[in-house]
Amino acid sequence: MKTRITELLGIEHPIIQGGMHFVGFAELAAAVSNAGGLGVITGLTQRTPELLANEIKRCRDMTDKPFGVNLTFLPSTQPPDYPGYVKAIIEGGVKIVETAGNNPQKWLPALKEAGIKVVHKCTSVRHSLKAEAIGCDAVSVDGFECGGHPGEDDIPNMILLPRAADELKIPFVASGGMADARSLVAALAMGADGMNMGTRFIATKEAPVHENVKQAIVAASELDTRLVMRPLRNTERVLTNVAVERLLEKEKALGANIKFEDIFGEVAGVYPKIMLEGEMDAGAWSCGMVAGLIHDIPTCKELIDQIMSEADALIRGRLSGLLAA
C-alpha cells in the first residue's frame, strides 16, 4: 500500500510503532521495521545519550530498514540532557524522529539540518496545526482512546481524525485505539495516511517485556483502563490494578489539593518493575482501551502481514462489494 506516509518515511506499510517507555527497545523497533512498518526506539528509556547511541547501533545491527527514535519532551524542573539525545540521534544516522509532549520547535533546526523527518505526536487539531506551522513533516494524531497521555480535550478519533483531515496539509497517522485491518481502513477512510499503534505492539513475540505484561493485555477488556493524574492536568490512560485503584482513592480524597508527591509511590520509577520484572501491581502503566481488541501474541511480521492482507480484502471485498448493487 502506498500513502503519503509510506512515501515520506520510505516504508512498505503505513504502520508505525509509537515510542513506549521500557518497551521501545531495539528488539521491538527492529522487528517492526523488518516487517515493513516503522519501528521506534524510545529515547528517554535510555538513561544517557551514550546508552541511546548504543541502542541505535544495536537496532542498526538488527535491521537495514528505516527506524525512528521517540523524543518525549516532558515538563520537568530537571530536564533530561535533550541536546545530548539529539546529538546521539543525529550522529547515529537516524532519519526519523517521533516527538511528543511539549512543542519540539527548539530542536527542529538541528534535526532538519541533519535531514531528519519529524513526526510530532499530539492530541488536538490546534497542536497538529502548530506542528505543521513550525515545520514538522507529519503528525501522529492521538485520540482520547489512546494508551498513555491523551491530553485534556477528550476527543475520540471518530471526531478527531476527520477534523484533522479537514485542517491539515501535511500527512498524518491515526493513533489510539488502532489494532487491526479494520482500524487501518477506517483511519484511511477518515483521511489519515496510516496508523500508529502502541498497546497492540506490546503484545507481540518480539516486544522485550515480561510475559505477564503481554498476558495482562490479552486478558483485559475495553472496560479495564482508567484515567489517572487528571487533577494534575497530566492525564494518563493506564490499565487498572491495585496501585491504580489506590491512586484514584487518593485523588478522590485530596481533590484539587493533590500534588505529584502524594502519588509518587504509584507512578515514579515503576516501569522497570512492571515491564522487565512483571510485577503487575507495582504501579500505574500506560495501556489503551484497544486492549479489548487484543487476543493473541503474534510476531510483528504476522501481525503486520495479517493487517495488510485483511485491509486489502476489506477494501476490495466488503467495501467495494457494498457499491456493486
Ligand X SMILES: Cc1cc2nc3c(=O)[nH]c(=O)nc-3n(C[C@H](O)[C@H](O)[C@H](O)COP(=O)(O)O)c2cc1C
Least CB distance to ligand X at residue 185 (A): 16
Buried b vs exposed e over 236-250: b needs ≥16 C-beta within 10 Å? Answer: bbbbbbebbebbbee
Cell numbers 524542573 correspond to 77
Least CB distance to ligand X at residue 179 (A): 7
Least CB distance to ligand X at residue 37 (A): 13
Bridge partners for 98 per DSSP: 70, 119
Cell of 80: 533530561
Long-range contacts of 111-118 (CB under 8 A, 24+ apart): 111/86, 114/90, 116/89, 116/90, 117/8, 117/9
Q: Where do contacts with ligand X occur on this chain (CB under 6 A)? A: 18-21, 23, 42, 70, 72, 100, 121, 142, 145-148, 175-178, 196-200, 285-288, 290
Question: By C-beta, is 34 or 70 nearer to ligand X?
Answer: 70
Least CB distance to ligand X at residue 275 (A): 7
Burial (CB count <10 Å: 0-12, 13-18, 19+), residue 263: buried
Least CB distance to ligand X at residue 237 (A): 8
Sign of CA dihedral 268, 271, 272, 277: positive
